[in-house]
Amino acid sequence: MKKIVVAYSGGLDTSVLLSWLKNRYQCEIIAYCADVGQEDELDGLEKKATTTGASRCYIGDLKEEFARDYIYPMFQAGAIYEGQYFLGTSIARPCIAKGMIDVVLKEKADAVAHGATGKGNDQVRFELGAAMLAPHVKVIAPWRMDEFRAEFPGRAEMIAYAEKHNIPVQASAKKPYSMDRNLLHISYEAGMLEDVWYDSMDPKKNRNYFTTLSCLPEDAPDKAEYVQLLFEKGNCTGLFGSGVAALVKKFKLKATGTVTLAGSNDPYICLTPYGVMKVLNALGGRNGCGRVDMVENRFVGMKSRGVYETPGGSILYMAHRQMESITMDREVMHLRDSLIPKYAALVYNGFWFSPERDALQALVTESQKFVSGEVRIKLYKGNILPAGRKSALSLYDEAIATMEKDPTQSYNQNDATGFISLNALRLKASARRGGKKGKK
């Protein structure tokens, strides 16, 4: 073993991991940190990595790629895991794995190492991604090594190791929970959350906990806020609303232009996928939207409790569904919807780069070719409410749907008689058979 690329964040765990691997394998260590919008303090990270023992530190700016190539395709699919989880951590892992493997190949490294535990999903996600992208590269997972766990049975031993080896980290022996943040969400788990009866949304106890990206609904404004989303082939390309321009300026986002659709007076600010997510996160966050507390089924077999804040993603999910409701053919929608649990499981379980996910994505892309138009959303105290939708490609026909007289004569109500009779035919046959069974 001559060279190892280590997934590195600068925190206690990965700093100790980096130093331990260097001592264990006596080889060159290269640190890699992916910026997927976690907004951690990255200044000084390279110096910290080299001080800890790395020969170099790569910081990959993947924010735009993460939004464009991972978040957007997943939201086109309508993916949500077990009806609640927007897959924020799950979808970030293949993006990070790809960035890391790119460095592995560039450096001609022998192995890649990560600090995911042997009980979680991330070990699977990282390693399945590596297997698809670079099958010849060895993967080192110290938390699955007996000697590593024996040396570090707890956080206190890691802190002591860091002090002994002059590793520059700030850490305390006790944390109330663990966190993972990126552009799409922030997750919390472990610690106090391992008690599934504990109320993470209690405003008396947790106003300062679990509120990184969003406020509690009780603390949201008493006045509703509206935002409009512009869609093109299933992707949000622009935003309009009273608070949008100020947020674009605040985040120093570069608009790609403005557009006003025919028959509309609303000038949409066109943004990249990253820009859209940044603005929606702020809008949803200040209105207490996108908060989830759930117990989920991990791929490795156990149940795990997680608290999630996904303010922008939850708005995008609702708006996209509303856009589909008037532009997508019924049978296409039902077919795609039948595949949502499978698609979500593939993302959750780490099979993003698998051939089956590619096949499903091709179907999803085809299903989105008419999903274009505008959606208006109302945000109020944690609620995300549809407030209007329109499209030049809409399949909705008010003249046909009306309960009043149809001026177009496109729908003859008398035709429903035969439709019902034909659909009832097999039910009547089944009922007759059941009646025969009851006779002696």
pLDDT of residue 150 exceeding 60, the answer is yes
pLDDT, tens only, 82-99: 999 999 999 999 999 999
pLDDT of residue 416: 93
CATH number of 217-328+370-390: 3.90.1260.10
Residue listed under structure tokens 């379980």: 349
State the average pLDDT over residues 414-427. 94
Q: How many CB atoms lie within 10 A of CB 322?
A: 21
Q: Where does residue 13 rank: exposed (0-12), middle (13-18), buried (19+ CB within 10 A)?
A: buried
Least trusted range by pLDDT, from 35-44, 121-130, 185-194: 35-44
pLDDT of residue 154: 85
The mean pLDDT value of the chain amounts to: 94
State the average pLDDT over residues 343-369. 98
Instruction: Report d(CA 251, CA 36) in Å as an integer.
Output: 16
Instruction: Report d(CA 207, CA 250) in Å as an integer.
Output: 25
Q: How many CB atoms lie within 10 A of CB 385?
A: 12
Instruction: Report d(CA 241, CA 226) in Å as an integer.
Output: 6
Could you tell me the pLDDT band of residue 42, with boundaries at 50, 70 and 90? confident
Residue listed under structure tokens 């820009």: 275
State the average pLDDT over residues 252-273. 93
pLDDT of residue 178: 84
Inter-axis angle of helices 12-25 and 45-52, nearest 10: 40
Q: Under a CB-based contact definition with an 8 Å cutoff, are residues 30 and 107 in contact?
A: yes
Of all residues in the chain, what percent carry a pLDDT higher than 70? 97
pLDDT of residue 157: 92
Instruction: Report d(CA 100, CA 34) in Å as an integer.
Output: 8
Provide the H-helix boundaries in 350-405: 355-367, 398-401
- Which two three-digit tokens encode residue 322? 């509303």
Domain with CATH 3.90.1260.10 in the chain: 217-328+370-390
Q: Under a CB-based contact definition with an 8 Å cutoff, are residues 102 and 133 in contact?
A: no
pLDDT of residue 434: 85
pLDDT, tens only, 377-392: 999 999 999 999 999 9
pLDDT of residue 206 exceeding 90, the answer is no
Could you tell me the pLDDT band of residue 408, with boundaries at 50, 70 and 90? confident
pTM value?
A: 0.93
pLDDT of residue 86: 98
Could you tell me the pLDDT band of residue 437, with boundaries at 50, 70 and 90? low
pLDDT of residue 440: 55
pLDDT of residue 366 exceeding 90, the answer is yes
pLDDT of residue 60: 96
Inter-axis angle of helices 340-349 and 330-338, nearest 10: 40
Which residues are the active-site residues? 13, 93, 122, 178
pLDDT of residue 439: 58
pLDDT of residue 173 exceeding 70, the answer is no
Domain with CATH 3.40.50.620 in the chain: 3-71+89-174
pLDDT of residue 321 exceeding 80, the answer is yes
Q: How many CB atoms lie within 10 A of CB 127?
A: 17
pLDDT of residue 319 exceeding 60, the answer is yes
Which pairing describes strands 268-270 and 235-240: parallel, antiparallel, or unpaired? antiparallel
pLDDT of residue 333 exceeding 70, the answer is yes
Greatest Cα-to-Cα distance within the chain, rounded to the nearest angstrom:
88
Q: Where does residue 305 rank: exposed (0-12), middle (13-18), buried (19+ CB within 10 A)?
A: middle
pLDDT of residue 38 exceeding 80, the answer is yes
CATH number of 3-71+89-174: 3.40.50.620
Could you tell me the pLDDT band of residue 407, with boundaries at 50, 70 and 90? confident
